[in-house]
Amino acid sequence: MKWQALVALRYLSGKQKEKFISVINLISILGVAVGVGALIIVISVMSGFDEDLKDKIIGTYSHIEVISDYGIKPSEEFISRILKKKHVVAASFFLNTQALIRQDEMASGIVLKGIEAKNEIKVNKLGQYMVKGSIDLSPDGIVIGSELAKKFNVDTGDLLTVVSSAHTSGKKFKVCGIFTSGMYEYDMNLAYVDIARAQELMSAGDLASGVMVKVDDAMNAIKVKRELIKDLGPAYTVRTWIDLNKNFLEALKLEKTVMFLILTLIVMVACFNIASALIMIILEKTKDIGILKAIGASNRSIMSIFALQGFSLGAIGTMIGSASGLAACWALKTYKFITLPKDIYYIDKLPVKISGHDVAVIILSSLFISLVSTIYPSYRASKLDPVEALRYE
C-alpha cells in the first residue's frame, strides 16, 4: 500500500478535532447510502412492472403477427413455411373482428377473435389464464374475459348474443370459459370463438386475418420478422409484439430513465456533503499538509490523499446502500408484504426484478459521482503553500 493511502486511511479512521466534521462525514455516508438504496429499490420495482406488463401483452397475443389486407387462406403449407424458420416454435391462424356482445338490455363492444383452439394455447398463455371452464369452443362456445363476465353477471354455461355487421340479428354463444390476463383492457374487451364461427359472423368465407407466431425467446422476434419479410414478400405485413406496443414500451423506458436521473440527484446532494466535509478536513489538516509538502510530498501526492479519503466516504455509503437496497428488494420479492389495489393495478403484489446490469450501473454511477466531488477540494489542498500553512504554527 502506498503511503498516500495509509495517510488517507489514518485521517479517515482517526478522531477529528472538530466533532462536527465527524458528524458531516456520517451524514455524507448515510446520504449516499439512502440514495443508492432508493435507486436500487425503485429501479428494481419498475423493472418488475416492465417485465410483468410485457409478459401479459405477449401472453394474450403472440410474439409475431403475419397479416394480409386481403386475408390469408388457412393451409398447412403456409404454416409449414413459417414453422421452418429458425427460433419459431408454434403458429396458429386467427380472425379478428369488431362485434357487439348482448344480453337482455345490456350490450358492449368487443374485439372478437376467431382462433384454432388446439393451436392457440401453443402461441400464447390463454390456456394458463383460464380461471373457469375450458377452451372448448365447439360448436358455439365463447371464451370471455373476467371483467366482461363480471359486467354481464354471467358464468360458464350462460348464453350471450354476438352481433356483427354481417349478422345484425345476432348469434347465440354459450360461455364455455372465462380467462383473466391481468390487463383490464383485455379482460373487458376481448372474446374468443372458433375461427369457423368467426368466419360465419363476418361472412369471410374461408379466409383468416393472419397467423400468430411464437418464437423461443421474445427478443428473437425482430430477427424472425426479417426472415419472414424476406420469405413471404410484400403481400404480407409482419409485426412483432414490440411494433404493436411501441409507444407503450417507449413510455416505460422513458419513465425508468427519468426516475433514475431524479434519484441520482439524491446521491449528488450527498456527494456535495462529501465535498463540504473534505474542505473542512483540509482546513483542519493545514499544518499536516504544510509539513508533508515541506519534507518533499508532491502536489499530486497531497491531492491523492484527500481524493482517496473523500472517495472512501462515497464508497462506504455505496456499499451500505447497495446491501440495504438489495436486501429490501429480496424481502419485497420473497415475502410480498406490500399489497396493491387489484382493481387499479390488476396485480395484488409489488413486482420486483433485480437486474445485475441496473445494480452495476447504479454502483458505478455513485462511485463516479463520489470521485468527481473530491476533485476540487483535493486540488485546492495540493496548492497550499507550505510556508503559509506553517506560518502561525
- Contacts of residue 28, defined as CB under 8 A and 6 or more positions apart, other chains included, come to 270, 271, 273, 274, 276, 277, 313, 314, 317
Residue 36 has what pLDDT? 93
Q: Which residue has the higher pLDDT, 21 or 257?
A: 257
Residue 326 has what pLDDT? 96
pLDDT tens per residue, range 223-257: 999 999 999 989 899 999 999 888 888 888 898 88
CB 131 within 8 A of CB 177: no
Q: Which residue has the higher pLDDT, 162 or 341?
A: 162
Residue 16 has what pLDDT? 53
Identify the helix (H) or strand (E) that includes residue 215: strand 208-215
Residue 343 has what pLDDT? 61
Say yes or no to pLDDT of 393 above 60: no
How far apart CA 389 and CA 385 sit, in angstroms, is 6
Poorest-confidence range of 154-158, 366-370, 371-375, 384-388?
A: 384-388
pLDDT tens per residue, range 140-176: 899 999 999 999 999 999 999 999 888 888 899 999 9
**Nearest C-alpha neighbor of 312 from the set 2, 11, 3:** 11
Residue 20 has what pLDDT? 60
Residue 19 has what pLDDT? 60
User: Any idea which residue has 470521485 for its cell?
Assistant: 371
Residue 297 has what pLDDT? 77
Say yes or no to pLDDT of 192 above 70: yes
Q: What are the sequence ranges of the domains in the chain?
A: 3-57+248-390, 62-244
CB 255 within 8 A of CB 291: no
pLDDT tens per residue, range 295-330: 777 888 878 888 888 888 889 999 999 999 999 999
Residue 222, CB half-sphere, CA atoms under 13 Å: how many? 4
Mean pLDDT, residues 179-193 taken together: 89
Mean pLDDT, residues 11-15 taken together: 63
How far apart CA 221 and CA 63 sit, in angstroms, is 6
- Contacts of residue 67, defined as CB under 8 A and 6 or more positions apart, other chains included, come to 209, 210, 211, 236, 237, 239
Length of the chain in residues, anyone? 393
Residue 21 has what pLDDT? 65
Question: Considering the chain, what is the average pLDDT of its residues?
Answer: 86
Which range, 5-14, 211-220, 267-276, 284-293, has the best average confidence (pLDDT)? 211-220
Q: How large is the angle between the packed helices 356-382 and 299-335, nearest 10 degrees?
A: 160
How far apart CA 217 and CA 220 sit, in angstroms, is 5
Residue 386 has what pLDDT? 67
Residue 271 has what pLDDT? 86
Say yes or no to pLDDT of 70 above 80: yes
